[in-house]
Amino acid sequence: MSASGIIFSNIHDNNIPELTRLRTIASVPFACRYRFIDFTLSNMVNSNIYNISVITNYNYQSLMDHIGSGKDWDLARRSGGLKILPPNITAYANPYLEGRTNSRLDSLKNVATSIGRITDDYVVLSDCDVICNVDFGDMIRAHQESGADMTIAVKTAELTPETAHSTVIFRSDEGGKITEVLAYPNDFSGSADIGLNMIVMSTAYLRQMVLEASTRGYSSLSRDIIGRRCGYMNYRIYRINGYCPSISSFADYYKHSMELLTDPTARESLFGVKNRPVLTKVRNSTPTYYAQGSSVKNSMVADGCFIEGTVENSIIFRGAKIGRNATVKNSIIMQDTIVGDGAFLNCVITDKNAVIRDQRMLAGAETQPFYVSKGKMI
Amino acid sequence: MYKKQECVAMLLAGGQGSRLYTLTEKTAKPAVRFGGKYRIIDFPLSNCVNSGIYTVGVLTQYQPLQLNEYIGNGQPWDLDRGQSGVMVLPPYQAKSGADWYKGTANAIYQNFNFIDRYDPDYVLILSGDHIYKMDYAKMLAAHKEKGADCTIAVLEVTLEEASRFGIMNTDEDLRITEFEEKPKHPKSTKASMGIYIFNNALLRRYLEEDEADPASSKDFGKNVIPKMLADGCKMYAYPFHGYWKDVGTIQSLWEANMDLVGEQPVFDLRDRDWRIYSRNYSDPPHFVGEYAKIANSLITEGCTIEGIVENSVLSSGVKVCRGAYIKDSIIMSGVTVGEGATVNYSIVDDGAVIGAGSTVGRTKASGEKITVIGSGISLKPATDVPGGEMVDEEWLKSQED
């Protein structure tokens, strides 16, 4: 069994417009030192998937900077390894500008040549909006054993009309065969299997699907392919029971970040899995310094920080500086942010390189954290 | 093919570091951990790269497994290069016989085949047991400017300390007139730092002569340097100003680690213009719990802190359980300090487990010596380790008896 990976780095960008103004969803910072794509890349590498294409369509400078040659994931290889596939701008209009739902299939059409060159038997397609530590090997085995044409990872969730709107619901029979697809329903509540945007299929099936999508003008994978064909094709669900939040809004981002502090099992199931480390770009920071008089409680802190003040229930990224007598509560302080002496922050998210000047007081609410954009000085 | 390099660095990393006792039982001294996420060898290697020297031979001999693994292909220091880069040079078996490295000079002599590939004009000799940041390019520029045959980096020490070092007596132009190894009555305070630049052709001649001399102990400081001086070679001192520490003893290793701690530390690694690179592993961020208290300490990735940490340096993946108390200590990678345990004025090596309620070491104020817990040692709950003990397997056995 050998498999290739295809990662979509832009899909769902619109879900967190604050954090994706200058980056792809794949490169949104998360948990002190990671980017969303680190989880997807690590899951693939930890499942012995070493031929990975990352499809990018716009805003991908930060992503390129982050993954570089791929060497931090052992993906800088002569044969295979990491391949970044930017848009083919001269040959196609950019379908991404038209809307969110038609993206995946159009992206695949764009890279049809590259798909043609895949020599592995199977392909794992994945977006970057789900944070988890899973073994794709298990999923591929389940796919092989069931003889499915396509296997789609799902989790069971309780939905309200508000949350259901950003999900794709898969209904299946007792054996797990998909019978109906509800894409982005407007009015749904109750328990349902929602898609995690991780799909396994054979390379041959993928090629045929892309070819057909091109000839018939299909553009939505869930609606035009899975939804139309599930009656007569063998599409199956694969339930993931562990910790796997999908980040589909700014509030979600905040909530699931904070979950890492309040829920030890969330931390364990992401970072404590034996032989499945989450890999990321190495930055060569120094260890973090805690000054005399600093007070840090229930927080996650990366390397390279300098902490003189008080930090509670917060996530502090690499190279951040928390000034003397400053208080940071329930906040997410991203890379190289400077919080001045005596500043007070509650429910605040500061993006990279932000500067909060001395004595400033900023507060948001848990449902609506106050956001300070990249490089901004307040 | 290999490209000519102006200067090739040869890093002597074969030393046992016997005065570090149990810390170097299973690893060579240059591979000893330092400052939370570094190893001693990161300093000369990073200095080389930051000075624009990209060809480095690392001579290993004693317990090289960890060191070889750590250096690998040199990627963390950007030394994974096609036409130069880092190369580990162990002793080898030649047609005419097999030899261990008999001394620092012999180690270089045996590796002229490596140096010759790059046809260098200069050879820089470094050792793998000092902590410092130094621009070797400036030293090389001084060497060329003086038209020297050999340049030796020197550090100003106090007159009292001078008897512990090799001391260079120089004229006003810094030309070395006399070299004294650990003099009882030092005439100068310029101590050799063990960093030499030689003109390649001359070095080769002297090493060949030294090799042929059966009375020689094949050492730069004892044999080669005095011989060159006696022959009237142009040898200059290159004064270095800045932090430099020999971490050859438990006490100095502890001190050097502590020099990193503080708001304005004695030795600052946060300077982004002269970064110290190291091999980073994929540890998650560290987590500080509800009841933790950390003051004046360095904490590295992968740690979980639930107890109290003061004036200490914690390496990656250290677990400090609730009620544990760590003060004035160096805790290396993957150590677990159990509930309610106390660690005072100690160095705890990789993977050791301090059982709940144990007491390791005595307070610094008590005047007792530093306590050392060897790598992988597991202390049962409520063990008491007095100050100044070196805990290894034998110590544990002696306790059982």
Q: CA of A313: which chain B residue's CA is closest? A: B290
pLDDT score of B31 more than 90: yes
pLDDT at B21: 87
- Length of chain B in residues, anyone? 401
Q: Would residue A347 be called left, alpha or beta, if left means φ above 0 and alpha means ψ between -120 and 50 degrees?
A: left
pLDDT at B353: 98
Place of tokens 């800045």: B242
pLDDT at A93: 55
Chain A residues touching residue B75 (CB < 8 angstroms): 71
pLDDT of A38-97, one tens digit each? 999 999 999 999 999 999 888 889 999 999 999 999 999 988 899 998 876 554 555 554
Nearest chain A CA: its distance from B321 CA (Å): 14
Note which residues in 4-63 of chain B have CB less than 8 A from chain A: 35-37
CA B92 to CA B106: how far, in whole Å? 13
pLDDT score of A224 more than 60: yes
CA A349 to CA A33: how far, in whole Å? 15
pLDDT at A102: 47
- Beginning with the edge strand found earlier in the chain, give each strand of the sheet holding B319-320 in spatial order: A370-372, A348-350, A332-333, A315-316, A299-301, B286-288, B304-305, B319-320, B336-337, B353-354, B378-379
pLDDT of B158-200, one tens digit each? 988 898 888 999 999 999 999 988 889 999 999 999 999 999 9
pLDDT at B1: 66
Chain B residues touching residue A298 (CB < 8 angstroms): 288-290
How would residue B399 be classed by pLDDT, with cut points 50, 70 and 90?
confident
Alpha-helical runs (H) found in chain A: 17-20, 36-46, 61-67, 103-110, 112-116, 136-146, 161-164, 203-216, 228-229, 250-262, 264-271
pLDDT of A101-119, one tens digit each? 346 888 898 888 999 999 9
pLDDT at B17: 80
Chain B residues touching residue A269 (CB < 8 angstroms): none
Q: CA of A280: which chain B residue's CA is closest? A: B282
With b for 16 or more beta-carbon neighbours within 10 A and e for fewer, the B300-317 pattern comes to bbbbbbbbbbbbbbbbbb
pLDDT score of A12 more than 90: no
pLDDT of B204-213, one tens digit each? 999 999 999 9
Q: Is B290 on the interface with A (CB under 8 A)?
A: yes
A300 with B285: Cβ contact below 8 A: yes
pLDDT at A58: 80
Nearest chain A CA: its distance from B394 CA (Å): 32
B270 with A286: Cβ contact below 8 A: yes
pLDDT of A247-289, one tens digit each? 989 999 999 999 999 999 999 999 999 999 999 998 889 999 9
pLDDT of A339-362, one tens digit each? 999 999 999 999 999 999 999 999
pLDDT at A101: 37
Nearest CB to B296 within list A278, A291, A297: A291
Q: Residue B342, SS3? A: strand
Nearest residue to B54 via CA among B123, B113, B7? B7
Across the range B214-227, mean pLDDT stands at 92
pLDDT score of B368 more than 60: yes
Nearest residue to A288 via CA among B82, B163, B173, B316? B316
CA A139 to CA A35: how far, in whole Å? 23
Q: CA of B260: which chain A residue's CA is closest? A: A289
ipTM value:
0.92
- Single pTM value for the model: 0.92
Instruction: Measure CA B370 to chain center.
Output: 19
pLDDT of B311-334, one tens digit each? 999 999 999 999 999 999 999 999
Check if the beta carbon of residue A37 is closer than 8 Å to that of residue A27.
yes
Q: Is B293 on the interface with A (CB under 8 A)?
A: yes
Our CA angle for B229, B234, B239, nearest 5°, is: 95
Q: Which of A94-108, B7-21, B65-79, B276-290 has the lowest mean pLDDT?
A: A94-108
Q: Residue B179, SS3? A: strand
CA B149 to CA A348: how far, in whole Å? 62
CA A16 to CA B288: how far, in whole Å? 28
Check if the beta carbon of residue B224 is closer than 8 Å to that of residue B209.
no
DSSP character string of B208-262: HHHHH-TT----IIIIIHHHHHHTT--EEEEEE-S-EEE--SHHHHHHHHHTT-S
Nearest residue to B301 via CA among B36, B10, B70, B47? B36
CA A131 to CA A60: how far, in whole Å? 20
Chain B residues touching residue A283 (CB < 8 angstroms): 280
How would residue B95 be classed by pLDDT, with cut points 50, 70 and 90?
confident
Radius of gyration of chain A (CA): 21
CA A48 to CA A144: how far, in whole Å? 17
Q: Would residue B201 be called left, alpha or beta, if left means φ above 0 and alpha means ψ between -120 and 50 degrees?
A: alpha
Phi, psi of B57 (to 5 degrees): -100, 130
Maximum average pLDDT range among A158-162, A325-329, B14-18, B184-188? A325-329
Mean predicted lDDT score pLDDT of chain B: 94
Check if the beta carbon of residue B145 is closer than 8 Å to that of residue B201.
no
Alpha-helical runs (H) found in A295-376: none
pLDDT score of A100 more than 50: no
The amino acid that residue B149 corresponds to is D
pLDDT of B102-159, one tens digit each? 899 999 999 999 999 999 999 999 999 899 999 999 999 999 999 999 999 999 999 8
Phi, psi of A202 (to 5 degrees): -75, 155
